[in-house]
Structure 1
Amino acid sequence: MTPSEVEILPQPNSEEPEKDYLDEIPNDVEMSLFDHLEELRQRIFYSLIAVLLSVIGCFVVVKTIVQLLEVPAQGVKFLQLAPGEYFFVSLKVAGYSGIVVASPFILYQIILFVLPGLTRRERRVIGPVILGSSVLFFVGLAFAYIALIPAALKFFVSYGADVVEQLWSIDKYFEFVLLLMFS
């Protein structure tokens, strides 16, 4: 054979077996629609139990959480404008805080539900994506608390400082703070 004939011969493709391996679904088990729905129901149930326990835990320490969220509003006096307003604000704060506390477990349940249907290639990607998303979520919460809320409050206080006295409803303040933190 001449050197030009050797180049014409088909070369074995070493990537093909690896590509097939990465595109396989490991532990591929067929499930019926009802089995999928039952597993989904179970994952949702576990997530709701985690949220409920987290909300109860946050409600136990809600006074501390409320005081922490009041820090950006320096020098503003909060008013309770209706009977039970602080109680309902406490429930709202505990609810949002409980969801934040339970979010890693909820994410874990979502992963457990989705993982059996993913190929090896998709499984390689899911870890960094989830880690990055989680870090960015908590960085966003910290950014809102440290930079965004104080800047927004400073603007709104200075905008009406010479016209109105700054007495805020605690309910409206926490709606504002929670909106900024979760948007």
Structure 2
Amino acid sequence: MSSADAHRPPETPRLLDHLIELRARLLRGAVGVILAFLGLMPFAGKLYTQLAHPLLKTLPNSGHLIATDPAGGFFVPMKLAFMTAVFVTAPWLLYQAWAFVAPGLYRREKRIALPLLVSAVTLFYVGCAFAYFVVLPAAFGFLARFTPDVVAQTPDIGKYLDFVSVIFLAFGASFELPVALVILVLLGWVTTAQLREWRGYAVVAIFAVAAVITPPDVVSQLMLAVPMCLLYEAGIIAARVVGKR
């Protein structure tokens, strides 16, 4: 080997190597979702019954869910089972994404990115749990009190699943606010002092967003807006702590 070859820098990984690695990570993530879906399929009916529990508690004795589509009684629970599989395997999917990206990060970037990723996943789950255990029972109870007695309450199972999915996504995404604020401060786009100064505008924006993405009732809007205001304050504190470190 010549001296020139000895001092030659190592060749950078080819694009094909990255594509192969990406394909492997995608396949592992897909296999995880499929296995979880197959495991949940026998319990699809029970999953839907559990999901409908906040609504069923507010319906009168004669109220029940219906399936307007002849095949809805089968496909809607299967759709819920698949959505639950994705929900349950989200940490596994994010791990595959992290394993693909992490080798290209510096140690300092890893120390920052990994806690933010874990916090984002945790807050999303907390937001969904808050929506299921607190928001849905309160919202359905509020709506049921204003429903005339002559109206037969027979919601469609497909529309109910779509409605609840939107609520879960709205609350799960909204609970990511502290992580978003920390990222903005770390990127240098805003400062914690500016976030404190903009507190009044943030509250107005939060209530406007809550009015748009929640059902048209005051209860669910307040139950989204108030936690988001608290999370905004938590985001300022977290950004100040992380920024000092």
Q: TM-score, normalised by structure 2?
A: 0.60
Deviation of 1:152 after TM superposition, in Å, equals: 2.5
SS in 2 for 1:82: coil
Deviations 1:42-62 (A, max 9, x none): 111111111111111121211
Alignment match, 1:131: 118
Tell which deviates more after alignment, 145-154 or 46-55: 145-154
Counterpart residue identity of residue 122, structure 2:
V
SS in 1 for 2:152: coil
Q: Which residue of 96, 100, 118 corresponds with 1:113?
A: 100
Alignment match, 2:158: 171
Q: Which residue of 1, 7, 30 corresponds with 2:12?
A: 30
Q: Mind listing any 5+ residue stretches in structure 2 that lack a counterpart?
A: 1-9, 171-245
Deviations 1:55-103 (A, max 9, x none): 1112121122112111101124111222111111111101110001111
Higher relative contact order (CA 8 A, sep 6+): 1
SS in 1 for 2:12: coil
SS in 2 for 1:42: helix
In structure 1, distance between residues paired with 2:53 and 2:148: 19
Alignment match, 1:155: 142
CA 179–31 in structure 1, closer or farther in 2 if over 3 Å, else same: same
**Count of matched residue positions in the alignment of Structure 1 and Structure 2:** 156
Q: TM-score, normalised by structure 1?
A: 0.78
In structure 2, distance between residues paired with 1:156 and 1:72: 12
Q: Which residue of 61, 64, 67 corresponds with 2:43?
A: 61
Greater Rg, structure 1 or structure 2? 1
Contact 2:47 2:77 in 1 (8 A): no
Counterpart residue identity of residue 153, structure 1:
F
Deviation of 1:104 after TM superposition, in Å, equals: 1.1
Alignment match, 1:25: none
Q: Mind listing any 5+ residue stretches in structure 1 that lack a counterpart?
A: 1-27
What root-mean-square deviation, in Å, do the aligned CA atoms of Structure 1 and Structure 2 show?
1.8
